[in-house]
Amino acid sequence: MAYSATADEHHDEHHDGPAPGLMRWVTTTNHKDLGTLYLWFSLIMFFVGGSMALVIRAELFQPGLSLVQPEFFNQMTTMHALIMIFGAVMPAFVGLANWLLPMMIGAPDMALPRVNNWGFWILPFAFTLLLSTLFMPGGAPASGWTMYPPLVLQTGEAFPFLILSIHLMGISSIMGAINIVATILNMRAPGMDLMKMPLFVWSWLITAYLLIAVMPVLAGAVTMLLTDKYFGTAFFTAAGGGDPVLFQHIFWFFGHPEVYILILPAFGIVSHIIPAFCRKPLFGKASMVYAMAAIAFLSFIVWAHHMFTVGMPLAAALFFMFATMLIAVPTGVKIFNWLATMWRSAMTFETPMLFALGFVFMFTIGGLSGLMLAIVPADFQYHDSYFVVAHFHYVLVPGSVFAIMAGVYFWLPKWTGVMYNETLGKLHFWLTTIFVNLTFFPMHFIGLAGMPRRIPDYALQFTTFNQMATIGAIGFGLSQLIFLYIVIQSARRAGEKASDRVWEGTEGLEFELSSPPAYHTFTTPPTVR
């Protein structure tokens, strides 16, 4: 593809910069400002949720309760999951979308700038509500992020706050998703056909549709919980003619597409970084798009694989097993395409590439254990054990989180105009990679050996691997301080000046702009040939 940037792109746009002072961030409708806000918010939540993970791991360092009571332990597992999923990973992807989508498709901003502002500013309130429950009588929600009734109905005063904060997160996500669809479908520069769109844009287009489809389902499910608790309904109470398993079906009808909401944008990011540092075009771009679409479609018909043990008819179990196994096909296509991109390329290994390679390497491990989980008879053993904990952390941490970090390292010089410290970046990658494996790999073993998840204490034979995991988790947490330092240094514009192309092999409209880009870019659309 070739682009012709409008002639005086770089000099034309000094007329309206950001408003001065703090109000800039409160009132901003600028996609770059909102992208920055989303990313900072996500980073803060990453550390908050991570601290909770460290409480969990510290308690599990040795058998016997040593730090916290079981009630508090359950609050930590619940809050850790809610904060990492809705507070860290999803906002990070939305932040990247905000920064990048308009610049990638040659649009001046997002289609609905005020909705964009509102979508972000709901989040601090949602998470303040959620976190405030830690200080309430009865403590924070402790039923797991999956909120299964009847257990969740035993939540104390935190209950309505939990439901309301989830509603707020849902509203924020839906508004973000609508904005992204509207932007991608309406605001592409002339010549930017759908199949010419970069893969990050494609991944977000598909993700946004998933969000619009399933966030209302979650809202419905938690609203039914609310009425069951306070208004005398019995959707999920057997004594009133309801069914607790109905909740699980509704929840996972949301929950499985949610899993792909957490990984599809990661696929998009990695599909930008690998070709750039391979100096070779992405292999099979069209099949990458079809694979993502296939994964998105299948995500709607596999939900019950999260709940094979509830006791379902044989035919249902078989259907969900086969459908789940099918997901391995498009997922495999993606991994093979990345490998083919690397094959006979000319690679270099800067920090973004290291994180992207780490992603492919470890996401494969998580994907393969996912395939094992699809086999229903074996799943009866794996289900709700640490094997599952290992599986989903492999796809979420060295999966989604690595892709986010890869993306941040890749585009940070573009956003700030300065290069980060490459030595520190590499150190961050290696420490993170070593510790992430030390944390999560042993969990496969203790899970297979019979350790259930979500327990505050365990039998003696699980001690060794739990201690490894705890040491790994502490190391992982500390290593992220390097990342924080790097990001702060870049935000302070400390570092060498970045070129417009930033990296040798980059392609795409965002690298036609200056580094950092002007406050408003592509006010006149570029022409894509």
Partner 1 sequence: MSTNRLKFAGAGLLAAFALLLSGSAMASGLPPLNMPEGVTEISREVYGLHMMMLKICAVIGALVFVIMLTSIILHRKSRGVTPAKWHESTSVEIAWTVIPFAILVAVAIPATATLVKMEDTGGAEMTIKITGYQWNWHYDYLDHDIEFFSNLDADSTQAYQLGSDLSPLDVEHYLLNVDEPMVIPTGTRVRLLLTAGDVIHAWWVPEFALKKDAIPGFINEMWVNVEKPGIYRGQCAELCGRGHGFMPVVVVAKEPADFEAWVAERTGTE
Q: What is the C-alpha separation between 461 and 140, in angstroms, rounded?
A: 31
Cα dihedral value 510, 516, 520, 526, nearest 10: -30
Q: Which of 31, 167, 285, 306 is catalytic?
A: 306
Beta bridge partners of 385: 452
At 528 the three-state DSSP class reads: strand
C-beta of 159: minimal distance to partner 1 in Å? 14
Please, are residues 388 and 472 in contact by the beta-carbon 8 Å criterion? no
Region near partner 1 per CB under 8 A, out of 26-34, 108-116, 157-165, 307-315 = 307-315
Q: What's the one-letter identity of residue 292? A: M
Q: What is the C-alpha separation between 528 and 196, in angstroms, rounded?
A: 9
Active-site annotation holds for 229: no
* Tokens found for residue 260: 């792909």
> Per CB under 8 A, does 332 bind partner 1?
yes
Q: What is the C-alpha separation between 191 and 180, in angstroms, rounded?
A: 19
Active-site annotation holds for 51: no
C-beta of 446: minimal distance to partner 1 in Å? 8
Active-site annotation holds for 444: no
C-beta of 431: minimal distance to partner 1 in Å? 12
> Per CB under 8 A, does 376 bind partner 1?
yes
The binding track of 207-246 with respect to partner 1, each residue x by CB under 8 A or -, is ------------------------------xxx---xxx-
Q: What angle do CA 215, 220, 223 make, to 5 degrees?
A: 125
Please, are residues 254 and 218 in contact by the beta-carbon 8 Å criterion? yes
Q: What is the C-alpha separation between 393 and 523, in angstroms, rounded?
A: 42
User: Which positions ≥6 away from 437 have C-beta within 8 Å?
Assistant: 362, 398, 472
Q: Which of 229, 334, 391, 520 is catalytic?
A: 334
- Site for partner 1, residues 97 to 116, rule: CB under 8 A: none
Q: What is the C-alpha separation between 248 and 112, in angstroms, rounded?
A: 35
Region near partner 1 per CB under 8 A, out of 33-41, 168-176, 213-221, 357-365 = 357-365
> Per CB under 8 A, does 50 bind partner 1?
no
> Per CB under 8 A, does 185 bind partner 1?
no
The residue among 11 and 423 lying less far from partner 1, judged by its C-beta, is 423
Residues in the chain: 529
Kind and range of the H or E element at 55?
A: helix 31-59
Q: Which of 133, 331, 364, 432 is catalytic?
A: 331
Active-site annotation holds for 500: no
Region near partner 1 per CB under 8 A, out of 43-51, 142-150, 160-168, 258-266 = 142-150
The residue among 359 and 522 lying less far from partner 1, judged by its C-beta, is 359
The residue among 186 and 461 lying less far from partner 1, judged by its C-beta, is 461
Q: Which of 32, 188, 229, 256 is catalytic?
A: 256
Active-site annotation holds for 258: yes
* Tokens found for residue 13: 């746009």
* Tokens found for residue 434: 């070593």
> Per CB under 8 A, does 281 bind partner 1?
yes
Please, are residues 5 and 512 in contact by the beta-carbon 8 Å criterion? yes
| Out of 4, 128, 186, 309, the residue judged to bind partner 1 by CB under 8 A | 309
> Per CB under 8 A, does 432 bind partner 1?
no
Number of residues counted as binding partner 1 (CB under 8 A): 105
C-beta of 127: minimal distance to partner 1 in Å? 23
Q: What is the C-alpha separation between 483 and 474, in angstroms, rounded?
A: 15
The reply to whether omega before 149 is within 30° of 0 (cis) is no
- Site for partner 1, residues 445 to 504, rule: CB under 8 A: 445-446, 448-450, 452-465
Residue 117: what are its φ and ψ, rounded to 5°? -60, -45
| Out of 3, 25, 300, 336, the residue judged to bind partner 1 by CB under 8 A | 336
C-beta of 394: minimal distance to partner 1 in Å? 12
> Per CB under 8 A, does 195 bind partner 1?
no
Q: Which of 57, 305, 391, 444 is catalytic?
A: 305
* Tokens found for residue 225: 């919980």
Beta bridge partners of 220: none
C-beta of 379: minimal distance to partner 1 in Å? 9
> Per CB under 8 A, does 4 bind partner 1?
no
> Per CB under 8 A, does 326 bind partner 1?
yes
* Tokens found for residue 202: 């494609």
At 262 the three-state DSSP class reads: coil
| Out of 14, 343, 478, 494, the residue judged to bind partner 1 by CB under 8 A | 343
The residue among 431 and 491 lying less far from partner 1, judged by its C-beta, is 431
Query: Which residues form the catalytic set?
Result: 80, 109, 145, 172-173, 256, 258, 260, 271, 305-306, 331, 334, 453
